[in-house]
Structure formats: structure tokens, C-alpha cells
Structure 1
């Protein structure tokens, strides 16, 4: 099986913004785009993207999961990056059109079709470091993916980083490539120095998120996670998991969590921790690394509550459980 996100459908949908207007979306080849070397995105990082999935149900129908929420977040990211605004209906049509076109290629569970809408600034103007792009390109890539946990449900090792941040605080809620770039060196250094899988950024002791996922602490019947603000990404999977947890009668505490409290709670036998994101849904965390010491989270193994929550969300996505919150869009 090819690495996650390295196989693409041969075509994508694309629309462009020029002369203050959006073009009609087209189905075009996905093997290349044409950009001027002076394009705004290449110099001033005017780019944002989304990640969502389409799922094949037993009746053969294809269902998109929380498409509207992803579109809303992409509109927000575009606005915060001063990229040209677009109507939700435009991106919705682009997503549904390309998924319909390749509906026969949507894998059966536990696979899915990963969907990557992308918005980039295209104006050829290297003098616009402090000005927005006047033109842009919006496109939707498709990538069929398999089971994220096919290699085994191993627990992750996280290095707690109190001195650095994933990105600039005012950019945290923007899903932009620059944020991932700024987190890359700390992650690579953590892998080399302490064999960590990810860095959990905790600036000044405030537990936030990793380079590519939200962080959840599960202490018995309570989930603790940072309250939403502009400093970190408002994950769609995070929101879905918290909603399901509330449906199950769990207590959800969205509040500040300190490194000290995290380590204290993690030492309890029934404590669990997990990372939430589109690709993995919930990935269990087994070890926290802080100031040269390793701390097991609970038993250090995949926790029962983590697995239960992940299965509950997967069952909704795959059509095996009731969609109480109208998260699925059948196409």
C-alpha cells in the first residue's frame, strides 16, 4: 500500500479568481498547475487547505463527512489570509462534482477517499509582501487512502515543548501550509533526540496541540482539552469526538490544561490521551517526554475509551450507526 496521501485521482476540479470574479469550476488534469514564478503564494505563503473524507456505505452510496464544516473553516482561513472570498456553494459544487466523477474509486471501509481543497494566491507580484493577492486558484484533489492503522494500533510518543509554539498565536486557527512548515524542525529534532513521534506544543506550560493534530486527555469519564481560541486549529474531528463523548454521557471540559496537571493526571492507571485528526480520527498516546524523563499515560497502551470513541465516529462515517447530527451528505 502506498504511503498516505501519495496516490491521486487523475483529475481535479478547479476555479480561478481574476478581475474580481470567479470562473466556472472545471474538471482538469491533476498532474500539474501553471503558476508564474512570482506568484504571491510562492513568496508570501498565501495558501490554505482542508482535509475531509468521502465514505462508501454498504448500500453502495457515497457520503461526505461534515463537508459544510470544512467549507466554513476554509472560508475563515481564506479571510484571515486575505485571499479572495468565495461562496460556500462554489466549493460544495467542486467537492461533490469531483467525488461523483470518481465515485467508483471510493474505497470500501476501512478505506476512504481523502479530499484536499486548496486555495492559493496567484498574482505575479513580488512587491506585495504587505498586500493581498488580487487573483487566486481554488482546486480540489482526491486521494484514495487505506486503513490508517494497518501497521498496528501503536501508541505515540510525544515530546512536551514549553519554550516554542507551533506557529504564531494569531495564525493558529488558520489551516495554512506555513503553520506546518514552522512546526517541522521541532518535530524532526524531537524524533532524532528522544525518538518522539510528535511534539506537543505547550508554550509557557499551556497544553495546546501537536504539529498536525489536536490533543485530548481522557481521565475516566472526563475529556479535557484546550478551549477554542485563535492560537490553535479548531479541528472538525475534535468537535465530532467531543460531541459523541457528550452523547455517551461523558463530561467534556474545554479549558486551560497545564503541563503539571497533565503529568499528574497521566500517572493514573485509567488515564488515556489521544490525538484527533481527519487521517487517524483518534490516535492513542502512550508516552509523554518532559525534561529528559518519560512518563507513561495510564498503562501506556491503547485505552478502551479512546478505541470506543474512535469506533463510534467510524461507525457513523461508514453508515453503521445513526447519523444523529446530520454530519453526512449523500451524493
Structure 2
């Protein structure tokens, strides 16, 4: 939904439309997670430096709430902000333990959630997913939460398809993030979805965070920290990133890291949360997306530079990962007009097919 619906969005002094984001602060909210949306979305600006989002912190009854850090949060608005928002974000709460048992929402919270307009984009950070689940908004849908809460979450809300391996889940109009800082990843993802990679990357630089983190929560689940003398795969990943256009085998990666194939694969997965092949594919997809957004290169050349070899291979990977073709992705996110296609060559009265894009 997001950026496509602008009729209810806020306008600045010159009439330009901004996307309204309402952040629901509940009793026991951690200040860090509460501040993520304002900080990240507040860093998203257009090419002229104008804000693209208007972020409002509200509470279910308009009154102040006590954070889990011991100080009071004075909201800018009450539940009316939820009713006019384009996106509603629910940070975690540490003051509703009954939700961990599948209990009902407090009446004022339930009423506030019920007042959200149909079609509004719903987002949770960390255990804010409990609020969405208690309201029945995650039934039958994929979602995530903090990895440490996943077993409890499954017991309390068995109709939710929980995946604790990922940093966030994008299910269209409902998105959920993993614990704490994964809320930053999800907010940047939303900016990218709304306005493309350039705006999201600029916001990430302003916030001094990576625009995209490799792997998922798997890399954070109670793993011992390697001793300083133990070799890591960091240097090899950096080496591979400089050679994405080239064929890179698992054996070459292991040889660069000076490890056996078995040791390298195990250590890579422990550090990154995915296999070397999965990671390479993800990095190539990111490069391809960036080239599709920021250049007018033909798709077959984008595929070559990103290491997919052919436009058909890139098309298959993008459809599998993103559900769209390269041309459809460029049409949505591209900032440059596609290069003109050459006139098909005519040989012996037969029109030769142009290179597929």
C-alpha cells in the first residue's frame, strides 16, 4: 500500500505530499525501538532535501505512557493519529505479559487498533508483533519477532507462521521485524520499497548504519564468539564483493580463506547466517537491483556485471526472490530512462529477434 496511497498523506507548505507514519507507544515501550521510526524515516528526503515522511508518536488514549527505562513518554497525539495514518508502526511493549499467553489486548489498545483504516500498512518492531497477533491481524500470515521469543510466540499464536531466522518479513500490507535493531532494517526496507535504493541508501548514511545487512537472525542466535586467533570469512567476503561479475566457485572462496571446503562452509554459515552460495546470489541481486535503479544499462549487461551471466538467469533469480522481472523492477524503481533498443536486424527476409531484456 504505502506510497501508492497519497490522498490522506500530509502535505508540506508548498503542497507536496508526505507519507503519514503513526508510531503507537504502549506502556513499557523501550526508548530505542520507539525512536527508530522517527530517526530513520526522518532521514528520508528527496533530491532537494525535502522530507518524504511525517512521523507522529501517539498513544492509545492520548495520555503519557511510562517507558521501560523509567521515564514518561509524552505523545504528540492520541488514537486519532492511527485513523489517518498511511503506515502504523507498533514498537514492543514490556508491560503486557498477558500477550505472551495469548491473552486479549487492553480495551483501549484494542479500540485504537480497531480504529485503523482498512488498507493501512501495519508494521511491528520486535515484540510489537504480539499486539498485531492479539488483534488477529497475523492469523494465517508469515511473521517474525525476536528469536528468543519465537517458542513462546508459537504457543500463544499458533495460527501465525513464525520465522525467527530472518531480520524482517514483508507480507505486503503487514510487515514484522525481528528484535531491537532489526527495526532499523525494516524501516530502511520500507523506504526502499516506497522510494527506491538511492533514497534508502542516503537515509542509511545519515543514520550511519548499513543500508542492508547480510543474513538474518540466525547469525545472532546464541553463538560463541570466535577467539581472536580463529580465522574468519570477512576478508574473503570483501574479496568476493569486488569480483561479483566473475564466476566464483566455493572452492575458490575456501582457498582464499585458506580453509577446507567443510570448515569454510561451516564458519561462513555461523558468521553470516546463510551458505556461501546463498550469500553470493543475494549480493549479486543487490548489485543488479542497484544497476536497474540507477542506470540505463540493458538488462543483459546488468546481468553480466552482476555475475548472472545472462538476462534469463537474472530474470529467474529476480522472479524467485522478488516476484518481478528486471523490466518490471526497473519500471517501478528506476530513475533513468531505459536505453533505446536497436532496430531488429533483417536477414533474408526474416526479422532476427532482439536480445531479451
Q: TM-score range by the shorter chain?
A: under 0.3
Please state which structure has a larger fraction of its residues in helix: 2
Between structure 1 and structure 2, the one with the greater Rg is 2
Q: Using structure 1 for the length normalisation, give the TM-score.
A: 0.26
Please state which structure has a larger fraction of its residues in strand: 1
